[in-house]
Amino acid sequence: MNKYFLFFFFLIQYSYSQEYRVIYDFNYKLDSLKNYSENIEMVLDIQKDYSKFYYKKLIKLDSLVRSRAIISYGFPIQQVVKRKTGLFVNENFVNVADKYYNYPTTDDIHWEILSDTKLSDNHKLQKAEAKWGGRKWIAWFSTEIPVSEGPYKFRGLPGLIFEVKDSKDNFNYKLVSINKSLSEYDTSNIVETNLGMNPISITLKQFQKILINNYNNPFSEYYAMKEGTWGLTIFDKHISSLEGLKSIKKDYQLQIAKNYNPIELDKAVKYK
C-alpha cells in the first residue's frame, strides 16, 4: 500500500510539473423549473502552481481589449475561480452591477469512488459520486491522466475529471479537448482582473449581502445622477428617468429571482 501511494504521489507530482489546457462544454439551466438549457465553453488551465477556470470567450475579449477595442459583455452565470494546485481553497471572481469582486471559499469535496467504468474517446473512465454544495454530483474521471483536477471547484479524484453533473441535470460539464501547454497563458486581464478592472476583496457574506442589495435596490447608481445625463435600454425599453426605473423595478426583480439557480445551494441567498 505504501509503495502504491508513493507511486501515485509521484505520478501526480510529475503530471503537475506539466501544464494542461482543458476545454469543457458546460450545459446549465438558469431556471431549474424549465427544460431549456444553455451552453458555454469553459477553460481549465492546469499550471505548475495554480489551476484556473474561466470562460473561453474571455480569451477573445482579452485580445480585443489589448488591441484597444471598446467592448461590452456579460455572462449569465458566475464561474471564474483560481486555486493553488492541489488545494480545495478557491478564490472566486464575480461581477455584480459593473463591479468586480473576489472572495475566498474552502470547498472540500469527499468523493466515493465506484466500480463502474466506461470508455470515452479511447479513455477509460471511472465513476465517482459526492454530495457537495447542497447537491448530489456524479463524476467520471480517468487515471490515465493523473491530474487531480476538474472543472469549476471539482477536484480531488485520482485522475482528471472528464464529466461531472448534478443528479437533477441542472449543470453538466463534459470534456471537449485536452492539450499540454508549452507555456502559461497570461490570465491577468481575464481572471485576476476583469479586462483591467481590479477586483474588490470581500468575504462570502459580503458577496451575499451585495446580491440582496442589488435585488432590493436595483439601478441605485442612477438615482444620484441628474436626469437627462444618462439612459439605458432594458426589456426593449429605453429608460432615462427615475420614474422609468421605478416602472421596471418589479419586472427586473422577477427576472433576477427567476434566473437564480446557484450551483452551490448551501451558499444561496433568498430573494423575497
C-alpha cell at 191: 481572471
Separation of alpha carbons 250 and 159, rounded Å: 47
Dihedral Cα 153, 154, 155, 160, nearest 10 deg: -120
CA 195-43-90 angle, to 5 degrees, is 80
CB distance 95 to 76 below 8 Å: no
Residue with more model confidence, 236 or 168: 168
Judged against a pLDDT cut of 50, whether residue 8 lies above it is answered with no
31 and 87: one domain?
yes
Separation of alpha carbons 171 and 165, rounded Å: 5
250 and 167: one domain?
no
Mean pLDDT on 152-161: 98
User: Three-state DSSP class for 179?
Assistant: strand
Q: What is the pLDDT of residue 137?
A: 98
Mean pLDDT on 50-60: 94
Number of domains within the chain: 2
Judged against a pLDDT cut of 50, whether residue 223 lies above it is answered with yes
C-alpha cell at 104: 475566498
Query: In this structure, what DSSP letter does residue 197 have?
Result: B
Residue 45 lies in a domain: yes
Mean pLDDT on 226-254: 89
234 and 121: one domain?
no
User: Band of the pLDDT at 5, cuts 50, 70, 90?
Assistant: very low
C-alpha cell at 121: 474517446
Judged against a pLDDT cut of 50, whether residue 103 lies above it is answered with yes
129 and 252: one domain?
no
Highest mean pLDDT among 71-75, 107-111, 179-183, 235-239: 107-111
Q: What is the pLDDT of residues 36-45, one digit of tens each?
A: 899 999 999 9
Residue 197 lies in a domain: no
Predicted structure pTM score: 0.89
Average confidence score pLDDT of the chain: 89
Judged against a pLDDT cut of 90, whether residue 169 lies above it is answered with yes
11 and 116: one domain?
yes
Judged against a pLDDT cut of 50, whether residue 9 lies above it is answered with no
Q: Which domain holds residue 38?
A: 2-181
116 and 152: one domain?
yes
Judged against a pLDDT cut of 70, whether residue 72 lies above it is answered with no
Q: Which amino acid makes up residue 34?
A: K
Q: What is the pLDDT of residue 10?
A: 42
Q: What is the pLDDT of residue 46?
A: 95
User: Band of the pLDDT at 4, cuts 50, 70, 90?
Assistant: very low
Q: What is the pLDDT of residue 71?
A: 67
User: Band of the pLDDT at 18, cuts 50, 70, 90?
Assistant: confident
Q: What is the pLDDT of residue 261?
A: 94
CB distance 105 to 118 below 8 Å: no
Q: What is the pLDDT of residue 17?
A: 53
Residue 98 lies in a domain: yes
96 and 152: one domain?
yes
Mean pLDDT on 150-156: 98
